[in-house]
Amino acid sequence: MKKLVFLTGAGISVDSGFSTFRDANGLWEQYSVQDVASIEGYWRNPSLVINFYNNLRHQLVDASPNEGHRLVASLEEHFDTTVVTQNVDDLHERAGSTNVIHLHGELMKATSTNNPNDKRCIQTLTPDNLDIQIGDKAKDGSQLRPFIVWFGEAVPMMDEAARAAMNADIFVVIGTSLNVYPAAGLISYVPREAKIYLIDPKPVKVPYGIDVHTIQKGASEGMKDLKEILLTLK
C-alpha cells in the first residue's frame, strides 16, 4: 500500500464555517495574535486567553466536517494515509481519519500550564463540559490551559511529521500558504521521486526546485479532482 501524506491548513476547514486564523470577521480578527496565540500573551493575561479558546471551542462543536475532510478520510481504503494538520480542530477525526498528527495542538483538549506535553496531564473536553475556568487544575496541580502550541513554544510533533513526509510516496498540501514554519518546511522532506499535489484557490509560492501539481480550487472541490487522480496511482 502506497504511503499518502496530507499537510492541511486552515483552508480545509473554511467550508465547515469554522473561524480560521486569518479569516476576516472571524473571532481571531478581534484580538492581537500576540495576545491570544503566544506564550507571552498567556502569561500576561491567562484569563483572556483561556476565555478566547473557550469561545472558539463552542464554535467548533457547532461545526461539521465538510466534503474535503470526508474525501481525505475515504482514501484510507486505498492508501496508508497520514494527515499532518496545522489546524487545532478535530474535523479530520470526526470525518473518519484515524492517523492525524496535530502540529499546533488540539482545541478539544486541556493540559498543564507547567508541563503542557506531559501525557498524564492532557485531558479531552466534552461537548457538555467545554470550558476551562481559572482555578481548574491539571493532574500536576498547575492551572489547566488549552492544549495549543502557541508562538514561542516548541512544536513537539514536528519530528513525527517529518518522518511521515520522508516516507511519503504521495504528498498533498491542502489549504495552507506554506508561510508558517516549521510546518511549511515539511515539503522539503518529501523524497524526490514522490508525487506532490497542492490544492488551494489562491496561488501558493512553492520552494524552488520542487515539482508540484497544482489544483487551483477550494479544498472540497479540489479533493474531488484529486481523488480521481490518486485512484489511478494506487
Q: Domain containing 6 — which CATH number?
A: 3.40.50.1220
Question: Which one is catalytic: 69, 92, 102, 104?
Answer: 104
Average pLDDT, the chain: 91
**34 and 116 co-located in one domain:** yes
Whole-model pTM: value is: 0.93
Domain check: are 72 and 142 in the same one? Answer: no
Backbone angles phi, psi at 221, to 5 degrees: -65, -40
Q: Residues 129, 188: one domain?
A: no
The per-residue pLDDT for 24 is 45
Domain count for the chain:
2
Give the percent of the chain with pLDDT over 70. 93
Claim to verify: residue 120 and residue 232 sit in the same structural domain: no
Is residue 72 a contact partner of residue 83, using CB atoms and an 8 Å limit?
Answer: yes
Q: What is residue 206's predicted lDDT score, i.e. its pLDDT?
A: 77
- DSSP secondary structure string, 83-133? EEES--S-HHHHHT---EEETTEEEEEEEESS-TT-GGG-EE-BTTB----
58 is catalytic: no
Residue span of the structural domain in which 84 resides: 1-17+66-104+156-234
Residue 51 has pLDDT above 50, yes or no: yes
- For cell 480542530, the residue is 89
Check residue 19 and give its pLDDT: 60
Higher pLDDT, 185 or 3: 3
Can you say how many angstroms the Cα of residue 31 is from the centroid of all Cα atoms in its chain? 20
- pLDDT reported for residue 181: 65
Same domain, 29 and 39: yes
One domain, residues 135 and 211: no
Average pLDDT, stretch 152-167? 95
